[in-house]
Amino acid sequence: MELASPWTTDLLAFLVLILPVILYFALQEGSQRQATWGKHKVGIKVVNAHGLKLSMRQALIRSAVKFFPWQLAHTCVIQIKFGQTSPWLVFGALLAQILVVTYVLSVLISKEHRAPYDWLSGAYVISEE
């Protein structure tokens, strides 16, 4: 059985795995509910700097930046699996891990518990009242 090209495989992985997740988070956090199912269950929601609902643009930026490391890791691993040996692929895979660690540390360390994707989108996660 012949495998597809690495770029075709990566595009398919993006369309089937990552894009639906990005859209789910953006549509839920940009909705009147302002939260995904899990956020709603634990009593938190995502708001803008004025405490209002995120715009769809803000929600898409937040979700795209949040899941960028996931896509970057997939791209690098798929390319490596197909026999690509560029040092840039190893760097990209490591960068994906560094970004995830940065996201987690920023939430733990920052006073407002915000990650880079919150800063870039102007979002805040708050308790529901």
Confidence band, pLDDT 50/70/90 cuts, at residue 2: low
CA distance 103 to 81: 27
**Using H for helix, E for strand and C for coil, what is the string for the chain?**
CCCCCHHHHHHHHHHHHHHHHHHHHHHHHCCCCCCCHHHHHHCEEEECCCCCCCCHHHHHHHHHHHHHHHHHHHHHHHHHHCCCCCHHHHHHHHHHHHHHHHHHHHHHHCCCCCCHHHHHHCCEEEECC
Backbone angles phi, psi at 45, to 5 degrees: -150, 165
Query: Does position 129 have pLDDT exceeding 80, yes or no?
Result: no
User: What are the tens digits of pLDDT across the range 46-86?
Assistant: 999 999 999 999 999 999 999 999 999 999 999 999 988 89
User: At residue 122, what is the residue type?
Assistant: G
Percent residues over pLDDT 90 in the chain:
90
The Cα angle at residue 74 between residues 16 and 47, in degrees rounded to 5: 70
User: At residue 85, what is the residue type?
Assistant: T
- 100-104 long-range contacts (CB < 8 A, ≥24 apart) are 100/69, 103/66, 103/69
pTM for this prediction: 0.89
Query: Does position 1 have pLDDT exceeding 90, yes or no?
Result: no
